[in-house]
Structure 1
Amino acid sequence: MNLKRFVGRTSREAMVLVRQAYGDDAVILSTKPCAGGVEMLAMAPETVVALERAGMEPAVEPTVADAGAGADAATLAMSTLSFQDYVRERMLKRRQANLQSGEQAHPTVLPTESRKQTSPGAAGRAGAGQPVGLDQAGTGIGGVPGPVAGLDAAALARTPMPPGRSPTPVDVVLDDAPAERFEMMNELRSMKNLIEDRFGALAFIGALQRSPGLARLTQQLLGCGFSPALIRKLVTDMPGDVNNEEDWAAGVLERNLCTDSAEPALEDQGGVFAMIGATGVGKTTSTAKLAAACAAKHGAASLGLITLDAYRLGAHEQLRAYGRILGVPVHMAHDRSALEDLLGLLAAKKMVIIDTAGLAQRASRTRELLDMLGHRSINKLLVINAAAQGETTEDVMLSYRASICRGAVLSKIDEAVKLGPALDALIRHRTRVVAVANGQRVPEDWHRLSSQALVRWALRYVDGGSPYRLDTAEVSLMFAAPQAVSRAASL
């Protein structure tokens, strides 16, 4: 086989070397970059003719080596086509090989005498006058010829083709390697995603360098605690004719932050509400504030209190103290059946509030608590600590399934240095803010704020020389990292 490699600085120079060696009819088998430029693997046209003639000669006994040679001959004959046609033919062959391998479970059964009298070699010679793989008794699924019983892969691969006929997907049987193909496709997808992320990051950094206004807005939002994913979405979708970038970004954040300020208050709506959340976020205090608001408007007789906090020693005593002040008895439920019985007992109340135990978001008992509160009449309110880190808030909202909660209570906003991380998580999970708490006083520190008030509060943050402040170079460095998969909502 007369194969030769040609190396040139460019593909044009390599093609000139190929033509000088084999003429204009040379067959290019492969082209790839190398250290010296471009490398081409070429073959003389006489070699293709010789291989085609060798493929027409029948063999006496099929062997594994002959089968490999037949497959090579058919593959090299296909190289006279263009590279795109070659790739298309290979994909068709692999698809056909998958179909044929699926039909092996129901092979066509030939008569017993015919199987006894026909050997693999004779079967290969008898098929020289017709396309290989055609079943004389019928065709396979979808009109695709099925494999003939008694013919092995070597005989199919060695059978010559009629003169003047190009190879088709049923002429060559290729070894199938689905696991390797899937692995290669996964690697290609990973490489594609990496390239897209890197080019996207470079384009974003270039846009910040060209626009001082966008650079200032990005630095401000990062300083306020908003996530890079949300900032990148904002800056990328910003129109080019915006005069005030900060006002535009604030308006977008306000439209995407859901609040309950335009609807009646929870104590006026009524229903069954359960306060859930991590340890120490203020669930019991929030329960007391909401209970006090309901008792002040509708009377203590319209209120019912239930506690599930039997996990800590004496934990229910705090809620009982608030209940004695309001004149409302506090009931305790140890399991789901007891909770359902209490809900039936308090069904006539306008509002029933359930206080739960504080559990870490990754604790195994968290799922048990959520299952216990699975009654259809219970509206879960997730209490979120506004002073927590953004990663912690995200983890809490995922563990407590914020997407199926009635809403969120934003507590301890008076302790939060930055309100951006909490608002960022609420926007991403599309969770409605039903109330905010800014202190320990009951019920004075219980408020309902609009999305505009919360966003303006978050954007008023001033670092004041904080050591965590990012300068312009550090902002570019942060966005130069590969973009993480974001669950941010579309703005």
Structure 2
Amino acid sequence: MNIQRFTAPTAREALAKARMTFGDGTLILSNRPTAAGIEVVATGEDTLAALDRNELSRQGKRQPSDQPASSPKVDPNSQVVDDTTQLAMSTLSFQDYVRERMLRRRHEAINGQSSLEERSQPHRANPSAVRSAPAQITPFQAPAAITTQPTPRPAAQTTSRPASRPVASPTLAPASSLMPQGIVDELQAMKTLIEDRFNTLTWLGQTRQSPIHSNLMLKLIRSGYSPTLSRTILERMQEDIAAPEAMRWIMDVLTRNLRTDADTSAIHVEGGTYALVGATGVGKTTTAAKLAGLCARTHGANSVGLITLDTYRVGAHEQLRAYGRMLGVVAHLAHDRAALQDLLGLLSNKKMVLIDTTGIAPNDPRKRDMLDVLDIAGVNRLLVLNAGGHGDTLDDVVTSFKTGGVQQSILSKIDEAAKIGPALDAVIRHQLVLRGVTMGQKVPEDWERADAAKLIAMSMRAPTKSAFDPKSADLGFFFADSAPIHAGQFHA
């Protein structure tokens, strides 16, 4: 069997050596790291064909010459062709092929022993029983026990021919009992891992062959977008597209998938009861003051109600009261759910009621209690996200505070963010509705409505050189464990 080992510093170079030796029909049997590098064990498809021919020749030699013409013939090559076409350069595929070959050989052994046993027995009194065909035995199915009943014979025949010894019929175990379940589960996990790695290598190889795809991928990663979103976009881009059109197409896709309230009224014009939630220090109190000022400017100071639940942070109530005095609005303090319900009843005639909450970390045990207090009919939650936050941190915050239905959000401190790509990436992937962005400390001037096209263009501007910018050789690490977004969650 022509199996060779190839060693190289990287897996890619070892795979290249294997393909140079065996061509396009290369089958990877195993790979493992060694002291000299990555060792890959490979073979070719012609080796499997040689195995089939040798197997056929051995079976032809074992088959007895006096076998009846009516006995069913088993063609092992009929399923080998299907097996070889389904091989996908994985270790598990080769193991499945070997296991099925062993099963077929056991089936043929059982059929051959049954035929020998029938010929060794004397003829039965009932001719129809002799003409009955033996039961078919299918793979992965345990056959029933085969029993032989002796037939009475005349004394002359019994003495002239010795009685044959009964041949024990072996039973075929199911395929699941060939190996322990733990090994089967490990092999299945190995198959999934191998397929994922080969898919990633194939995708990266195709991307590196196109300079446009490679440059755009680096552009998205350097702008702060996640590998998951970047791969989802690039997989849907046409291959024969020029660089300027490709860049415009990507920005158009990002703009269409960034959900904003551009088609509806502004939040301060629409009104309603909103509770601002989020992590500590993201600017919830300042954002509440800006929204209150915008509503007071549009509908008058009597149209706004301010409530704070922040009894933990020192000076939180005084800060909101100071903003309220600037706007001519009274700020109220609620200690619990009952007090909050009473205040909401008193302020039910207001155009907009804003509830400032305590900043809670995603893993803070107090978060559940605070969200239970806000679980009141008519209270909408506004998730305030720091536009300069790290991508993993933003993803954790969104996952922790996200509720059922449509989740509304606000990006704060956009002027302090070196890259707003991570924040926009979290909004797009979690399908949040962006109601506005804030910048600076001016109340209420430092507020803007969410403009998807403007925000995407801002995120795609060439950032300054950073120590965290990836290189072309680092793309494999970014995309090794990333899976594209499902088609139902992304529109391209």
TM-score of the two chains, using structure 2 as the length reference = 0.69
Mean Cα displacement is larger for which, 290-299 or 259-268? 259-268
Who is 2:115 aligned against? 49
- Aligned partners of 2:121 and 2:221: how far apart in 1? 69
Who is 2:61 aligned against? 20
CA contact (8 A) 1:261 1:449 kept: yes
TM-aligned CA deviation for residue 181 of structure 1: 8.8
TM-aligned CA deviation for residue 465 of structure 1: 2.7
CA contact (8 A) 2:232 2:484 kept: no
- Aligned partners of 2:349 and 2:443: how far apart in 1? 25
- Paired residue secondary structure (2:139): helix
Q: Which amino acid aligns with 2:113?
A: T
- Aligned partners of 2:193 and 2:247: how far apart in 1? 31
CA contact (8 A) 2:232 2:485 kept: no
Who is 1:234 aligned against? 233
TM-aligned CA deviation for residue 272 of structure 1: 0.4
| Deviation string, structure 1 residues 417-446 (Cα, Å, up to 9, x no partner) | 111111111011110110101111111111
Where do 1:119-268 residues align within 5 Å?
160=147, 187=186, 189-243=188-242, 244-268=245-269
Q: Which amino acid aligns with 2:266?
A: A
- Aligned partners of 1:336 and 1:238: how far apart in 2? 51
List runs of 5+ in structure 2 lacking aligned partners.
1-47, 68-72, 81-92, 123-133, 151-170
Who is 1:385 aligned against? 386
| Deviation string, structure 1 residues 135-168 (Cα, Å, up to 9, x no partner) | xxxxxxxxxxxxxxxxxxxxxx6684999xxxxx
| Deviation string, structure 1 residues 310-350 (Cα, Å, up to 9, x no partner) | 12233211101111111211111111111111111100111
Who is 2:155 aligned against? none
Q: Which amino acid aligns with 1:14?
A: E
Where do 1:40-439 residues align within 5 Å?
41=105, 46-50=112-116, 81=137, 85-87=138-140, 89=141, 160=147, 187=186, 189-243=188-242, 244-401=245-402, 404=405, 406-439=407-440
Who is 2:51 aligned against? 10
| Deviation string, structure 1 residues 198-233 (Cα, Å, up to 9, x no partner) | 232122112212211111100100100111111111
Q: Which amino acid aligns with 2:62?
A: A
Alpha carbons of structure 1 residues 376 and 270: separation in structure 2 relative to 1, 3 Å? same
Q: Which amino acid aligns with 2:394?
A: T
Alpha carbons of structure 1 residues 383 and 442: separation in structure 2 relative to 1, 3 Å? same
Alpha carbons of structure 1 residues 425 and 8: separation in structure 2 relative to 1, 3 Å? closer
Alpha carbons of structure 1 residues 52 and 283: separation in structure 2 relative to 1, 3 Å? farther
Who is 1:124 aligned against? none
TM-aligned CA deviation for residue 406 of structure 1: 4.5
TM-aligned CA deviation for residue 234 of structure 1: 0.7
- Aligned partners of 2:448 and 2:274: how far apart in 1? 17
CA contact (8 A) 1:55 1:158 kept: no
Q: Which amino acid aligns with 2:53?
A: R
- Paired residue secondary structure (2:411): strand
TM-aligned CA deviation for residue 261 of structure 1: 2.6
- Cα-Cα RMSD: 3.6
| Deviation string, structure 1 residues 106-148 (Cα, Å, up to 9, x no partner) | xxxxxxxxxxxxxxxxxxxxxxxxxxxxxxxxxxxxxxxxxxx
CA contact (8 A) 1:382 1:405 kept: no
CA contact (8 A) 1:302 1:349 kept: yes
- Paired residue secondary structure (1:305): strand
CA contact (8 A) 1:380 1:405 kept: no
- Paired residue secondary structure (2:409): strand
CA contact (8 A) 1:8 1:14 kept: no
Q: Which amino acid aligns with 2:60?
A: R
CA contact (8 A) 1:276 1:355 kept: yes
- Aligned partners of 2:60 and 2:468: how far apart in 1? 64
CA contact (8 A) 1:260 1:432 kept: yes
Q: Which amino acid aligns with 2:56?
A: M
TM-aligned CA deviation for residue 402 of structure 1: 5.3
- Aligned partners of 2:148 and 2:342: how far apart in 1? 81
TM-aligned CA deviation for residue 360 of structure 1: 0.4
| Deviation string, structure 1 residues 347-400 (Cα, Å, up to 9, x no partner) | 011110000000101111112211211112111100001111111101000100
Alpha carbons of structure 1 residues 237 and 487: separation in structure 2 relative to 1, 3 Å? closer
Alpha carbons of structure 1 residues 211 and 174: separation in structure 2 relative to 1, 3 Å? closer
Q: Which amino acid aligns with 2:194?
A: I
Who is 2:447 aligned against? 446
- Paired residue secondary structure (1:354): strand
- Aligned partners of 2:175 and 2:473: how far apart in 1? 51
Q: Which amino acid aligns with 1:48?
A: S
Mean Cα displacement is larger for which, 282-291 or 466-475? 466-475
TM-score of the two chains, using structure 1 as the length reference = 0.69
Who is 2:43 aligned against? none
- Aligned partners of 1:274 and 1:161: how far apart in 2? 83
Who is 1:472 aligned against? 472
Q: Which amino acid aligns with 2:327?
A: L
Q: Which amino acid aligns with 1:469?
A: D
CA contact (8 A) 1:277 1:359 kept: yes
CA contact (8 A) 2:231 2:484 kept: no
- Paired residue secondary structure (1:409): strand
Alpha carbons of structure 1 residues 19 and 443: separation in structure 2 relative to 1, 3 Å? same
- Paired residue secondary structure (1:410): strand
Alpha carbons of structure 1 residues 175 and 161: separation in structure 2 relative to 1, 3 Å? farther
TM-aligned CA deviation for residue 266 of structure 1: 1.2
Q: Which amino acid aligns with 1:22?
A: Q
CA contact (8 A) 1:385 1:411 kept: yes
TM-aligned CA deviation for residue 17 of structure 1: 2.5
- Aligned partners of 1:259 and 1:322: how far apart in 2? 27
List runs of 5+ in structure 1 lacking aligned partners.
1-6, 57-76, 94-156, 164-171
Who is 2:27 aligned against? none
| Deviation string, structure 1 residues 50-72 (Cα, Å, up to 9, x no partner) | 5679999xxxxxxxxxxxxxxxx
- Aligned partners of 2:117 and 2:413: how far apart in 1? 81
- Aligned partners of 2:213 and 2:442: how far apart in 1? 41
- Aligned partners of 1:486 and 1:239: how far apart in 2? 18
- Aligned partners of 2:437 and 2:473: how far apart in 1? 36
**How many matched pairs?**
382
- Paired residue secondary structure (1:86): coil
- Aligned partners of 1:33 and 1:266: how far apart in 2? 61
